[in-house]
A and B are shown apart, each in its own frame.
Chain A
Amino acid sequence: QVTLRESGPALVRPTETLTLTCTFSGFSLTTSGMCVSWVRQPPGKALEWLALIDWDDDKYYSTSLKTRLTISRDTSKNQVVLTMTNMDPVDTATYYCARISREPWYFDLWGRGTLVTVSS
């Protein structure tokens, strides 16, 4: 069974760095065509793609947020980590990790998401 689960702090102070972990099972991130991405959704708003790491350990970032984001993986633990620096209240959102696999090359499996609130 393929699953993804996000974990991290529910509350972050402005200017702090957010670290989120996606723990997955049922697939290997070293298999050709496998990718894990982060997507966020502010309350009541639309989805926004943040970052992707692929089977070759190549990393890609949203153009608007790339100076603040770092994505990495630990294949031995089946984990993908996202860090976002200089958090602001506008970054309050549910953060999802999602898998992309070869065929269909879209977000075919999602975690349940974790709500992160940025407030002093």
Chain B
Amino acid sequence: EIVLTQSPATLSLSPGERATLSCRASQSVSRYLAWYQQKPGQAPSLLIYDASNRATGIPARFSGSGSGTDFTLTISSLEPEDFAVYYCQQRNNWPLFTFGPGTRVDIK
């Protein structure tokens, strides 16, 4: 099973600041990695797929990069609605999907 680890566990930032979230895979997942945002009481929603492609309707302040085992989600300037938990997920080992443990982005 491919294990995903995310860091940091919690990120405390102010609106307008840049957020950088990391996801590392236990083995190469090529570029088959996605990022999801989950707000309290809501289902996750797809942000980024195949490492760097924004899903439909996702603002340009969200960007993804990486390949192999190391990936990054960047939020260029945090908006109030961006404070949430972010999960990475791999599909390289289709369909034995795995998710990371999540990074919480809190208001500082």
A: which residues have CB within 8 A of B? Answer: 35, 37, 46-49, 52, 60, 62-63, 96, 98, 104-108, 110-113
- Of A35, A107, A113, which contacts B36 at CB under 8 A? A107
Inter-chain contact B44/A47, CB cutoff 8 Å: yes
B: which residues have CB within 8 A of A? Answer: 1, 34, 36, 42-46, 49-50, 53, 55, 87, 89, 91, 95-102
- Of B43, B45, B97, which contacts A49 at CB under 8 A? B97
Complex-state Cα separation, A114 to B46, whole angstroms: 19
Q: Which residues of A contact B95 (CB under 8 A)?
A: 35, 37, 52, 60
Chain B nearest CB from A71 CB (Å) reads 11
- Of B1, B34, B46, B50, which contacts A63 at CB under 8 A? B1
- Known A-B contacts: A49-B98, A107-B46. Give 17 more (CB < 8 A): A35-B95, A37-B95, A37-B97, A46-B100, A46-B102, A47-B36, A49-B96, A52-B95, A62-B96, A96-B43, A98-B43, A104-B49, A107-B36, A108-B46, A110-B44, A112-B42, A113-B43
Majority secondary structure of chain B interface residues (helix, strand, loop or mixed): loop
Chain A nearest CB from B67 CB (Å) reads 16
Complex-state Cα separation, A98 to B34, whole angstroms: 15
- Of B50, B96, B99, which contacts A104 at CB under 8 A? B50
Chain A nearest CB from B4 CB (Å) reads 10
